[in-house]
Every structure is written in structure tokens, then in C-alpha cells.
Amino acid sequence: MEDIIIIGGGPVGLYAATLASLHTLKGILLEGMDTLGGQLTSLYPEKDIIDLPGINRVRAGDYIKDLIAQTMNKPNHFDLHVHEEVKEVKAIENGYEVVTNKASYQTRFILITTGMGKFTPRKINLPNEDEFSNIYYSVPSKENFINKRVAVLGGGDSAVDVANMLSDVALEVSIVHRRNDFRAQAHSVDLLKEKRVKIYKPYLIKSLEGTDGKVNKLTISHLEVERDDVLPVDAIIVQYGITSSPSIFPVKTNKLGIEVNNFFETSLPNVYAIGNSCYYEGKVKNLTCGFGEAVIAITKIDQLLNPTKNIPVHF
């Protein structure tokens, strides 16, 4: 039986695995997708993160590599299983059985770090959308867009960040948003003009045309005046957000996340939730907040597993 199973291999799960090894706990981490890193890998691998303490600027994809290296360097590291989605959690004597698409495991404690669950990007919802291979829902690498005409669809933080980022390498970047106001950080919106991103708002996406499986023409309709614009494109990046699967854990949840107490205990005994998966008054859904939660949860779990141990506070 494992001491602890960490469910979710995003940044918070990876850091929790590092801490658990430092506490000499025994366990595994299970990640449902093919790659570790959560949102940083799936949604913004090329974005520069600038709000981590002591790290001036780091590319999200590089930061995940460092988090993985940090946990794998430990002599008693947790095995990190990818493509292993947790489907069910069942109470058993002295713990839980965790059932995945591949196997089942027994553990005394569970740490949920599933973010918003298994996520899929929202699509444009046009009938021929799936015919084109140059419509993307995240930016795998900036290199794909060098000297290309790129249209970014959406008006939130991700869309604006992607438009600004690609303006450094692309031939031309347009952003198409259906409202008059962007729902993004003001300084990022200001940057759009500085970076000469072409702004189309309020516009709806009307149609896609292309040849040989590649879209090359995007037609958009103005929402307030009768006018269509045609944008010649080499690539489209859809940033309409993501939908997530409902939580599979039978724990008390509200619409913002899994309810937890000061130790990140959920309504189920010995099941903890941290990172974007959890919610409590004052919660901030970012990296440093999630990392702090990992410290508190792992320390508490070690205390409960080893009541007579002198629990380490730093390493």
C-alpha cells in the first residue's frame, strides 16, 4: 500500500511529489494526459512566467522541465505515470483504492491536484473546422508561426497573451473578439497596439475556407454594422477557453472547486485537495498559491502517517 497517491501531474502535483519525497513518503503520481505539466504544457508552453518568487522570467515549458527534473532527482522519487487517468476512488479498509484506465492501486492518503479536471479546448463550432490541420487550440511552439499570417480568436487573457507573443515571430497577427472590450489584463491589452496586432472587435466568425486541408481564408462579420471582412491566414489559433470534465471525486464541491479546510482536507477522510482543484475563501488560482498549499498538505499528511516523527520544516 502506498503512503500517498497524487492525482494530477500539473505544476502543483509535481511540486507536491518533490516535497513528498523530501519527507521520505512512498507513493506515485498519476497524470491522465500524455504529458506532464498541466495548463503550462497544454495551454501556454511558450508563455514567459514573470511572477514566481526569485525567478525573473521563465518560459512555462522550461519551468515544467525543471519541476520534473527536481522531483526525479530525489533518490526516493515518486514514479510519474502519464496517460493514466483516474476513473474512480473507492474507500477500502485503512485507505483507498484508486482505479485508473490501466490499473488499480491502494493508498492510505490521496492528494487531488487535478486542476479543473481533464480539459478539452472549446472549438469555433463551424461545420468544416475539423478539416483543417492549421487550426490550433494552443501554441505548441512559436517556431510553427514564423513569418505566418496568424489570426487569434478570443478576447481573454490567453488570446491576448498569444497574440502579443506571436507578434514577435509572425508576419502579421490579428485578434478577433466578439465583444467591444477584452477580458484581459489592461497592460497586455495595451501591448497589443505596441506590438501592432490588428484588432477586430466586435466580430463573429462567419466561415472558413481553404485547400489541401489548410485554412487560408477567414471571413468575419461585424456585430454592429453590416460588414464582412476577409482575412487571409496561414494559421488560426482558437483561444475560447476550455471545458472540463466533472469531478470524479465524491467530495464536497462548490462551483469554484473542492471545499477544503486550513490543512487542505476535503470532506473525505485522508483525501486532500490543493492547487486549482480546491477552493476556500481568499484562494488565488495561481502557481505560488498552489505551491504553498502543497507544503501545508504534505506536512500534515506526514504528521498523520508518522505521529512520532520529527517532521522536517525545511531541507
Ligand X SMILES: Cc1cc2nc3c(=O)[nH]c(=O)nc-3n(C[C@H](O)[C@H](O)[C@H](O)COP(=O)(O)OP(=O)(O)OC[C@H]3O[C@@H](n4cnc5c(N)ncnc54)[C@H](O)[C@@H]3O)c2cc1C
Window 55-114: residues binding ligand X (CB under 6 A):
85-86, 113-114
Q: Which of 4, 5, 33, 205 binds ligand X (CB under 6 A)?
A: 33
Among 3, 275, 294, 301, binds ligand X (CB under 6 A): 275
Q: Please, which residue, 220 or 276, has the CB nearer to ligand X?
A: 276
Q: For residues 81 and 29, is the Cβ–Cβ distance under 8 A? A: yes
Tell me the CB-side half-sphere exposure of residue 272, using CA atoms within 13 A. Answer: 29
* Site for ligand X contains 286 (CB under 6 A): yes
Cell numbers given for 282: 481568499
Note whether 38 and 8 are within 8 A (CB). yes
Among 27, 38, 95, 155, binds ligand X (CB under 6 A): 38
Of 290, 291, 294, 301, which lies in the binding site for ligand X, with binding defined by CB under 6 A? 290
Q: Please tell me whether residue 276 binds ligand X under the rule CB under 6 A.
A: yes
Residues that bind ligand X (rule: CB under 6 A) add up to a total of 39
How many angstroms separate the CA atoms of 260 and 281, rounded?
A: 10
- Cβ pair 57, 49 in contact under 8 A: yes
Figure out which of the listed residues 4, 5, 6, 7 binds ligand X, where binding follows CB under 6 A. Answer: 7
CA gap 92, 114 in Å, rounded: 22
39 binds ligand X, rule: CB under 6 A? yes
Closest CB to ligand X among 13 and 155?
Answer: 13
For residue 308, the Cα-to-chain-centroid distance in whole angstroms is 38
Whether residue 121 has a cis bond before it, omega within 30° of 0: no
Give me 72's grid cell.
Answer: 526525479
CA 11 to CA 41: how far, in whole Å? 9
Of the listed pieces 27-35, 171-179, 210-218, 262-270, which binds ligand X according to CB under 6 A? 27-35
- By CB under 6 A, is residue 178 in contact with ligand X? no
Residues that bind ligand X (CB under 6 A): 7-13, 30-33, 38-40, 43-44, 47, 49, 51, 85-86, 113-118, 157-158, 161, 248, 275-277, 285-288, 290
